[in-house]
Structure 1
Amino acid sequence: MTLVQLDALDLSALLCSRVCHDVISPVGAIVNGLEVLEDESDASMREFALELIAKSARQASARLQFARIAFGAAGSAGASIDLADAEKVSRGMFGDDKTQLAWSAPQALYPKNKVKLILNLVVIAQSAIPRGGLIDVTVTGDGEAPSIVLTAKGSHARIPPHVEALIAGTPENGTVDAHAILPFYAGLVARAAEMDVRFSITGDTVTIEALPTPKPATETVDEPPVSDEEPPETALA
C-alpha cells in the first residue's frame, strides 16, 4: 500500500491537538480547585481543593515533560537523549496505581529518534492494556543498533485497533485524524530511526519489538582479471 504523507502543517496541528488533549483534564481540575477555594469557607472543602490542585499540577507537569521529549525536537538535529531522562518522564506519566512500569536500559545517551520511539511505544503499550497492568520496557545494545522490547500485561490485553497499519504509514481509510496521530507519528519516528516495529500477543500479554531495519544486501559485480602482459601492437595499414 502507498504510504500516507501528511502536510507539515497538518502533522504539527494534530500533534498539538494530542498534547492539548493530554493536559486539558488536569488543568481543568486546577481551575475547579481554585474556584472552590474562592467560594468555600469550609476547612475540609478547602483542604480537598488544595489536594486536587496539587495532584492535578503534578499530572500536568508530568504530561508536558513527557511530551517535550516524545513529540518535541529535544535539541538540534543529531542530538542525543539520556535514557535515564526517558525513564524519568515515563514513570511520571504512567507510574500510578492502575499501571506499573518496569524499566531495564543502559545508562547511556541514545540518538534522539530512537529515544522518542521508545516513549511513543510506551504510550501505545499503555493503550494495549485498557484496564491497567504492567508495562515492561527492555533496551539492549548500543545506540546505533538497539533492541527495544516492550511487554504490556493485563486483563483484556489486545493489540490496539489499526495500530499496525498506522505505524506502517498505511491507514485503512487513507487518512489520519487526532485519534490516530500518535501511532502514525511513531511510525514516522521509527522510519527516521531506521527501526522496524512488530506486534504479537499471547494470552494477556502484548509484545512490541523494535529492531534495526535490515540493510539491503549489496550486489558485487565480478570484474575481469587484469593481465600483466603488454597488449599486442596493432598492425598499421
Structure 2
Amino acid sequence: MTTVSLDALDLSALLCSRVCHDVISPVGAIVNGLEVLEDEDDAGMRDFALDLIRKSARQASARLQFARLAFGAAGSAGASIDLADAESVTRGMFGDEKTKLTWSAPRALFPKNKVKLLLNLVVIGTTAIPRGGVIDVAVTGEGEAAAFVLTATGSHARIPPHVEALMAGEPSGGIVDAHGIQPFYAGLVARAAAMDVRFAIEGDTVTIRATGTPAAADDAAA
C-alpha cells in the first residue's frame, strides 16, 4: 500500500480534533452542573450538581494533562520526560472502575519521543479491551535500548481494526480522519523514536511490543 503523508496543517488540525473530542464531554457536564446550580433550589439536586462538577473537572484536567504529554510539546525545553510523570498522567487518565492499570518502569528520564510513544500505545491498548480489563505496562532498558511491553487483558479483546495499517502510515483508502489520527500519529512517533511496534493476540490478551529498530541499535553501538 502507498504510505500516506499529512502536511503540518492537516496533522495539527486532526490532533486538535482528537483532543477536543476527549475533553468536550466532561466540559459539557460541568456546564450542565452549573446550570442546575443556577436554577435549582432543591438541596439534593444542588449536591448532585456539585458532585458532577467536581468529577467532571477532575476528568477534564486528567485528559488535558495526558494530552499535553502524549500529543503536545510538554517539556519542550529539554529532550527528555520523567517516566514518573508519564505514569502519573496515565493513571489519572485511565485508572477507573472499568480499567485497571499496572505499571513497571524505572524512575528515569527517557527520550521525549519514546515516552510519547509509550503513552500513545497505552491509548491503543485501552481500545483493545472495549469492555474494560487490565492493562499492564512494562518498560525495560534505558535510552536507545529501551523496550516496552503492554498487555491488555479483558473480555472480547481484539487488535483494534486498522491500527496496524494506520501505524504503518498506510490507512485503508489512503485517508486519515479524526478517528484514525491517534494510531497514525503513534506510528509517526514510533519512527521518530526509531522503535518497531508489533501486535499479537492470544485468547483475551493483546500484547503490544515496542523495541529499537536495527538501525537504532547500529547507531547506539557506533
Same fold (TM over 0.5): yes
Counterpart AA for 1:59: Q
1:76 is displaced (CA, Å) by: 3.1
Letter in 1 for 2:190: A
SS at match of 1:87: helix
Q: C-alpha displacement at 1:216, in angstroms?
A: 8.7
Query: By how many angstroms is 1:3 displaced?
Result: 1.6
Q: Which residue of 2 aligns with 1:150?
A: 150
Residues 1:122 and 1:37: Cα distance change in structure 2 (over 3 Å): same
Cα distance, 1:217–1:54 mapped onto 2, change above 3 Å: closer
Q: 1:184 is matched by which residue type in structure 2?
A: F
Give the 3 Å change call, closer, same or farther, for CA 136–217 of structure 1 in structure 2.
closer
Contact preservation (8 Å) 1:78, 1:111: no
Structure 2 vs 1, CA of residues 141 and 217 (structure 1 numbering), >3 Å: closer, same or farther? closer
Q: 2:25 — aligned with what?
A: 25
SS of 2:53's partner is: helix
Given that 1:36 and 1:46 are in contact with CA atoms closer than 8 Å, whether structure 2 keeps it comes out as yes
- In structure 1, what is the Cα distance between the partners aligned to 2:75 and 2:143? 17
- Between Structure 1 and Structure 2, the one with more helix by share is 2
The structure-2 alpha-carbon separation of the partners of 1:111 and 1:129, relative to structure 1 and needing over 3 Å to count, comes to: same
The aligned residue for residue 60 of structure 2 is 60
Asked if residue 94 in structure 1 is aligned to residue 94 in structure 2, the reply is yes
In structure 2, the residue matched to 1:115 is 115
Against the structure 1 CA distance between its residues 217 and 98, is the aligned structure 2 distance closer, same or farther, given a 3 Å change threshold? closer
CA shift for structure 1 position 215? 2.1
Deviations 1:201-232 (A, max 9, x none): 000000000000112999xxxxxxxxxxxxxx
RMSD: 1.4
SS at structure 1 position matched to 2:116: helix
The separation in 1 between residues aligned to 2:48 and 2:78, in whole angstroms, is 46
Report how far residue 143 of structure 1 moved. 1.8
The Cα of 1:77 is off from its aligned counterpart by: 7.1
What is the identity, as a one-letter code, of the residue corresponding to 1:39?
D
Q: Distance in 2 between matches of 1:95 and 1:142?
A: 26
What is the TM-score when the length of structure 1 is the normalising length?
A: 0.90
* Residue 2 of structure 1: how far off its partner (Å): 2.7
Q: Whole-Å Cα distance in 2 between the matches of residues 188 and 168 of structure 1?
A: 8
Whole-angstrom distance in 1 between the partners of 2:196 and 2:85? 23
Task: Quote how far apart the aligned CAs of 1:29 are.
Answer: 0.2
Query: For 1:17 and 1:77, how far apart are their aligned partners in 2?
Result: 25
CA distance in 1, matches of 2:195, 2:216: 14
Alignment of 1:56-205 (within 5 A): 56-76=56-76, 79-205=79-205
Point out where structure 1 has 5 or more consecutive residues left out of the alignment.
Answer: 219-237
- Length-normalised TM-score, structure 2: 0.96
CA, structure 1 residues 10+107, in 2 after alignment: closer, same or farther (shift >3 Å)?
A: same
* Cα distance change of structure 1 residues 78 and 2 upon mapping to structure 2, 3 Å threshold: farther
The change in CA–CA distance for 1:40 and 1:72 in structure 2 (over 3 A counts) is: same
Q: How many residues align?
A: 218
Distance 1:53 1:139 in 2: 36
Distance 1:14 1:217 in 2: 33
User: Structure 1: which amino acid aligns with 2:99?
Assistant: T
The match for 2:13 is 13
Shift of 1:79: 1.2
What is the CA deviation profile of residues 78-109 of structure 1, one whole-angstrom value per residue up to 9, with x for unaligned ones? 61000000000000000000000000000000
Q: Distance in 2 between matches of 1:117 and 1:155?
A: 25
Deviates more, 1:66-75 or 1:108-117: 66-75
What is the identity percentage for the equivalent residue pairs of Structure 1 and Structure 2?
81
Indicate yes or no: 2:1 matched with 1:4.
no
Asked if the contact 2:190–2:196 (Cα under 8 Å) also holds between the matched residues in 1, the reply is yes
Give, in angstroms, the shift of residue 75 of structure 1: 3.0
Q: What is the alpha-carbon distance in structure 2 between the residues aligned to residue 215 and residue 85 of structure 1?
A: 29
